[in-house]
Structure 1
Amino acid sequence: MTVKEILQIKNVRYFLMFRSSYFARFYYPVFTLLYLDYGLTLSQFAMLNVVWAATIVISEVPSGAFADTLGRKKLVVLSSIVMFVEIAMIAFVPTGNANLVFAVFLVNRVLSGLAMSLASGADEALAYDTLKEQGKEEIWPQVLQIQLRIASSVGIVVTLVGAAMYDVNVMGSIAEWFGLARPESTQDIMRIPVYATLLVALVAIYAATSMQEERKVAPHADGKVASTMASLRLTMDTAKWVISTPYVMFILLYYSLFEHTSRMFLTMNSQYYRAIEIPIIYIGFIGAGISLFQILLAGQSRRLAERVEPKSFITLMGLAAMATYFWISRGWPIYGVIPALLLVFITMTVNIFISYHLNRKTESHNRATALSFKGLMFNLGYGMIGMLYAYYYKMVSQRYSDQEIAQHLDFLASLSSFFYYFTALFIGLSVFFYFSNKKRPVFNQS
């Protein structure tokens, strides 16, 4: 099908709009720097992300089950509203009291995790089932490719503008043009990308409310209890199905490893770029380059995911990821950008592969629940690596003077942990896969 024909499918069109606007956050290019400017430490930043992941772990699968039983659109709409609230909290929090700032960011992380889990699986299930009803589910990889390209195109604008909003010189010139006082530091302008993101959140709310779903009969009091019990049963049944289906279990385990490790690093990429001597304004250009990189290589990622045999694909991506993390750990000035780009390509390709194979093995009635297990396993891993990194960074930083910390030497020294962490878990998981595959072929099941 052509792109025009795909976009004429209403739920697919609004799914693409929702995904693109939901993650179009102008503060992402400077995510870590934003937290530090609000007065938080790097260890607090890591632990707040653990709270975010823990919230998703608790709410991910139940939300997916409720999406399958009560209605997927309801959860997507609620997710967009919670997203708006959590962004508004950090947009308007006063920064005079460090304890208040930490408390507000703590609530923000809880709400952000809740919003993520509410939408996770439900929006994708709405779009995929619309295609299945029309007998067009085979074009799902094309939809994912289009999503990558749209999100990357939006990302080019968001990263360029977001980084510029955080650059004192750029915003100083704009302030002078309007006859305003020039900002003296990034703390004077740190809320601007947050305000911009708040406006984009309205687009996500519009997209969510525009999606369509077959109307479900609202349950009465007894019906609500029955629906809740049905959701819990569906959750348990899906958990048993995942565990008893090696194909799905290994797909999800490998997905979690690749995704949570790369996400932990990419969440801190603004700090990484600053440590390898990249000026803030160029962070936007790097982000735009990454988005362009994704647009150009989305087709190649899709072809790899569809055509390469699963065992070969996972081996190739695993070796590539290990080499990339080792390169990142060197912390080379300027040239350290290259492995960060490679990591983005690896993550993008693995995500397409996982979605393609998981949706093929999942029935419609529990699709949102199964996709929520995907999010659950990612966030269990993300919470684990977040706690380990926060502890490891705290130990490493104690060996450095204040002057060395100001030069980010402690942060650069902590990057080797990503290589050792990923390599150890990938080898361990692959050994587990090898012996399981000898007993019963994992990827050859009908």
Structure 2
Amino acid sequence: MTVREILLINNVRCFLMFRSSYFARFYYPVFTLLYLDYGLTLSQFAMLNVVWAATIVIAEVPSGAFADTLGRKKLVVLSSLVMFIEIAMIAFVPTGNATLVFYVFLVNRVLSGLAMALASGADEALAYDTLKEQGKEDAWPHVLQLQLRISATVGIIVTLLGAAMYDVNFMAALYGFLGWDQPQSTQDIMRTPVYATLFVALVAIYSAFSMKEEPKTSPKTHHSTNSTLASLKLTLNTGKWVLSTPIVLFILLYYSLFEHTSRMFLTMNSQYYLAIHIPIIYFGLIGAGISVLQILLAGQSRKLAERCEPRVFLVGMGLLTIATYYLISLGWPILGLLPALALIFLTMTMNIFISYHLNRNTESHNRATVLSFKGLMFNIGYGTIGMLYAYYYKLLSKNYSEQEIEQHTAFLDSLSAFTYYFAALFILVSVFFIIRNNKEAIFR
């Protein structure tokens, strides 16, 4: 299926537009630094991300069930609107009161988690089912490959501009050229990438409203009470089905393990870059380079996911990921960027593998709910590792002087925990897999 043929399908085109704009966050290259410049502490940053994950855990599966009963488009539209509101909150919050800032960010994290939960599964289910209705579901890996390339292309622009917007020297030169008062510190310009993200959020809203879905005609959808009961029933039934379907259960377990561990590290990548002596102005170039690699390697990721025998794929990915975390923990100056890039490629490949096999083994009527279970399991893991890491870093940092902490020595030493954490869980899940596979072949 050609790119032109893919883009001619309305829901697939809108899905691609929604995903690429929804995650086009100009502040991502400096995510941790942004929170700290607003006046939050590192421990508050970690706990706010736990709140974000906990919100998704609570809302993820019910939202998927509502998508399957009330309609996927409604939830995607609502998600885009909530996203706009949560970004607007931090774009305009005054920074004079530290307590107010914290509570505004707390509400922001709740709304952000809710927005993620509402969209999770619904947009993907809309696009996949549109392909299935046309007998073109085998083209889904190609859609995912195209989505990666579009998102990566957008990411090049977003990361370059986002990092530049946060560099005082660059912005001072730009302001001087425009005849404006030049900024003196990051506090003077820290809202700029947030404003840019708010503008791009309008594109996500447009793409959400442009999606098409046949109205639900089941009598259950005529009354909100019946719809709620139907959604809850579907959630419970889908949960039982996931637990009793080994291939789906293990796809979700491996997905959660790979994704939540890598996401925790990548959330702190700006801190990691500083620790390995990379200046802020280069963060955008790194992000752009990552996007270029994703564009170039998306095809290889798809081929691996489609053609590699699943058990060989999972073992290989697990061993490579353990080795990657170990290399990251060494904290090589500048060269430490290489294993961080490898982790991104491994995560991208794993995501294509998971989506390909999960959609193949899920029926249309509960697809959004199953995909919401995928998000649920990830966020349970993400919330857990967030709390564990925050607690571990707090204990570890007591053994370091303030100067060593400022020089990121404690942070770099804490990264070895990722190797042990991932290796232990990978072995645990794999042993469970072997036991179940001996009773019944999981990947046939």
Q: Quick check: 1:43–1:393 contact (8 Å CA) kept in 2?
A: no
CA deviation map 1:32-82 (0-9, x unaligned): 110111111112111111100000000000000000000100000000000
Gap change, CA 1:246 and 1:150, over 3 Å in 2: same
Equivalent pair of 2:310/2:443 in contact (CA under 8 Å): yes
- What is the TM-score when the length of structure 1 is the normalising length? 0.98
Which residue number in structure 2 is paired with residue 20 of structure 1? 20
Counterpart in 1 of 2:205?
205
After TM superposition, the structure 1 = structure 2 runs for residues 269-348 of structure 1, keeping only pairs within 5 Å, are 269-348=269-348
Is residue 390 of structure 2 the alignment partner of residue 399 of structure 1?
Answer: no
Query: Given the two structures, how large is their TM-score scaled by the length of structure 2?
Result: 0.99
Question: How has the CA–CA distance of structure 1 residues 335 and 74 changed in structure 2, closer, same or farther, with 3 Å as cutoff?
Answer: same
What is the CA distance between 1:219 and its match in structure 2?
Answer: 6.9
Task: Check 1:181–1:349 CA distance in 2 against 1; reply closer, same or farther (3 A cut).
Answer: same
CA root-mean-square deviation: 1.1
Deviation at residue 438 of structure 1 after TM alignment: 1.1
Q: Shift in Å at residue 181 of structure 1?
A: 2.1
Secondary structure of the residue aligned to 1:443 is: coil
1:223 positional shift? 2.3
Q: 1:219 to 1:192 in 2, by over 3 A?
A: farther
Q: 2: distance between equivalents of 1:257 and 1:396?
A: 24
Task: Say whether residues 1:412 and 2:407 are aligned partners.
Answer: no
In the alignment, which residue of structure 1 is the partner of 2:426? 426
The whole-number CA distance in structure 1 between the counterparts of 2:399 and 2:219 is 60
Cα-to-partner distance string for 1:283-339 (whole Å, 9 max, x where unaligned): 100000000000000000000000001100000100010000000001111000000
Name the CA distance, whole Å, in 1 between partners of 2:306 and 2:138: 11
1:195 aligns with 195
Alignment of 1:14-413 (within 5 A): 14-217=14-217, 223-413=223-413
Amino acid at match of 2:361: K
**Distance (Å, rounded) in 2 between the aligned partners of 1:414 and 1:206:** 42
Q: Which amino acid aligns with 2:369?
A: T
Question: Equivalents in 2 of 1:221, 1:338: separation in Å?
Answer: 51
Post-superposition offset of 1:222: 7.4
1:223 & 1:180 partners in 2: Cα distance?
57
Shift of 1:442: 1.2
State how far apart, in whole Å, the 1-side matches of 2:140 and 2:442 are.
23
> Quick check: 1:257–1:426 contact (8 Å CA) kept in 2?
yes
| Contact kept? 1:247, 1:442, Cα under 8 Å | yes
Structure 2: how far apart are the matches of 1:22 and 1:92?
Answer: 20
Is the contact between residue 16 and residue 147 of structure 2 (CA under 8 Å) also seen in structure 1?
yes
> What is the distance in 2 between the residues matched to 1:414 and 1:39?
23
Deviations 1:329-388 (A, max 9, x none): 011110000001000000000000000000000000000000000000000000000000
How far apart are the structure 2 equivalents of 1:349 and 1:365?
27
Separation (CA, whole Å) in 2 of partners of 1:181 and 1:331: 39
**Could you give the per-residue CA deviations for residues 148-194 of structure 1, whole angstroms, max 9, x where no partner exists?**
00000000000000000000110010011112222121111110000
Verify the 8 A CA contact 2:26 2:162 in the aligned structure 1: yes
**Per-residue deviation at 1:98?**
1.1
Alignment partners' CA distance in 1, 2:125 and 2:290: 28
C-alpha displacement of 1:221: 9.8
TM superposition shift of 1:420: 0.9
> Displacement of 1:201 after TM fit?
0.1
Whole-Å separation in 2 of the counterparts to 1:173 and 1:132:
52
Contact 1:149 1:295 in 2 (8 A): yes
CA distance in 1, matches of 2:195, 2:219: 39
Identical counterparts, % of pairs: 76
User: Is the 1:51–1:106 contact (alpha carbons within 8 Å) kept by the matching residues of 2?
Assistant: yes
C-alpha separation in 2, matches of 1:69 and 1:16 = 23
- SS at 1:39 equivalent: coil
Distance of 2:220 and 2:61 partners within structure 1: 24
Query: Structure 2: 5+ residue runs without aligned partners?
Result: none
How big is the shift at 1:216? 2.3
Q: Would you say the 8 A contact 2:69–2:221 is kept in 1?
A: no
- Of 29-38 and 176-185, deviating more is 176-185
Aligned residues: 444
TM superposition shift of 1:260: 0.2
Which region of structure 1 is more displaced relative to structure 2, 217-226 or 239-248? 217-226
- Give the partner amino acid of 2:292: L
Q: Which residue number corresponds to residue 10 of structure 2?
A: 10
Instruction: Report the residue type matching 1:137 in the other structure.
Output: E
Structure 1 residue 218, shift from structure 2 partner: 9.2
The DSSP-based 3-state class of the residue aligned with 1:194 is: helix
Q: CA deviation at 1:224?
A: 1.7
Change (3 A) 1:217 1:435: closer
Contact 1:152 1:295 (8 Å CA) reproduced:
yes
CA distance in 1, matches of 2:317, 2:277: 29
**Stretch deviating more after TM superposition (216-225 or 260-269):** 216-225
Distance 1:292 1:8 in 2: 25
Contact 1:121 1:371 in 2 (8 A): yes
CA contact (8 A) 2:220 2:226 kept: no
Please list every run of 5 or more consecutive structure 1 residues that lacks an aligned counterpart in the other structure: none
* SS state at 2:190 partner: coil
Partners of 2:284 and 2:219 in 1: how far apart? 49
String of CA shifts for 1:2-60, please: whole Å, max 9, x gaps.
10011000000000000000000000000011011111111211111110000000000
Q: Secondary structure at the match of 1:441?
A: coil
C-alpha contact (below 8 Å) 1:52/1:110 kept by paired residues: yes
Match of 1:141, as an amino acid? P
C-alpha separation between the residues in 1 aligned to 2:249 and 2:44? 33
Equivalent-residue separation in structure 2 for 1:135 and 1:431 (angstroms) = 38
Structure 1 residue ranges (4+ consecutive) displaced by more than 3 angstroms after TM superposition: 217-222
